[in-house]
Amino acid sequence: MPHSVPELKRALRKEQIAKREALSSIFRKQAGEKIARAGIPVDVVPGSVVSGWCAMGAELDPLPLMTKLHGEGAKLALPAIVEGKLIFRAWAPGEPLQRAGFGTSEPDKTAAVVDPDLVLTPMLAFDLRGFRLGYGKGHYDGGLTRLRATKKIIAVGLAFDEQCVEKVPVEPHDQQLDYVITESGVRFDGS
């Protein structure tokens, strides 16, 4: 039985990956589309920068929501890892992407680096306190910490209902989300 927070996180990651992968591809696609139709509980001012991500494997796909927000005037960005740190590069639907580490894609290295106003975050699990469990590299926690030190941002976790757990084990560096949204609606609203 794991006892330390890192051990608890590792065990939970393994469990949540299996649970998420058990969801049908049709369900996963419909969940992303349902979230996009419902939108987010935050006004996105035209010209604001919204960062999403390129879904990999069985992750919830944020592209339908990103496309909707882009159509409403938001500028988009995607994450990139540079020298072990999470940055965000400008991107628009239809622009080419390059294969990157960890099985994901990102904009070309020549794309402008931007600081998003709203960060859509992927996760393996979340709790109703607004904490998320990522893949264990700390990229999003570091990126949110950096952004929050320079400006007011909103961090919105997107997940499937099945990813909700009683309590995500947390460490001092773990960043709390402002919202968590699933296919059934807003599950956490920290405001």
| Residue bearing tokens 């882009």 | 70
pTM of the model: 0.94
Q: How many CB atoms lie within 10 A of CB 133?
A: 22
Instruction: List the chain domain ranges.
Output: 5-189
Take residue 182 and report the two structure tokens written for it: 């699933």
**31/37 Cα distance (integer angstroms):** 10
First to last CA, the chain: 36
Contact 52, 76 (CB under 8 A): yes
Instruction: Please write the tens of the pLDDT for every residue from 66-88.
Output: 999 999 999 999 999 999 899 99
- H-only helix segments in the chain: 5-21, 25-38, 63-71, 139-150
Predicted pLDDT at 59: 94
Task: Report whether 93 contacts 70 (CB < 8 A).
Answer: yes
Query: Crossing angle of helices 63-71/25-38, nearest 10°?
Result: 20
Give the pLDDT of residue 19: 96
Tens digit of pLDDT for each residue in 137-179? Answer: 889 999 999 999 999 999 999 999 999 999 999 999 999 999 9
Report d(CA 110, CA 131) in Å as an integer.
Answer: 33
Q: Which residues pair with 91 in a beta bridge?
A: 76
pLDDT in tens, 95-121: 999 988 777 889 999 999 999 999 999
- β-partners of residue 185 are 182
Percentage of the chain with pLDDT > 70?
98
What pLDDT score was predicted for residue 86? 93
pLDDT at 191 over 80: no
Interval 122-127 mean pLDDT: 97
Whether pLDDT at 1 is above 70: no
pLDDT at 42: 92
The β-bridge relationship of strands 125-126 and 118-121 is: unpaired
Pick the CATH number of 5-189 from 3.10.20.30, 3.90.1150.10, 3.40.50.1220, 3.40.50.10420: 3.40.50.10420
pLDDT digits (tens, 9 = 90+) for 21-57: 999 999 999 999 999 999 999 999 999 999 999 999 9
Three-state DSSP at 53 gives coil
Q: Which tokens sit at 10?
A: 């590792």
Q: Residue 37 burial (CB < 10 Å; 0-12/13-18/19+)? A: exposed
Q: Share the mean pLDDT of the chain.
A: 94
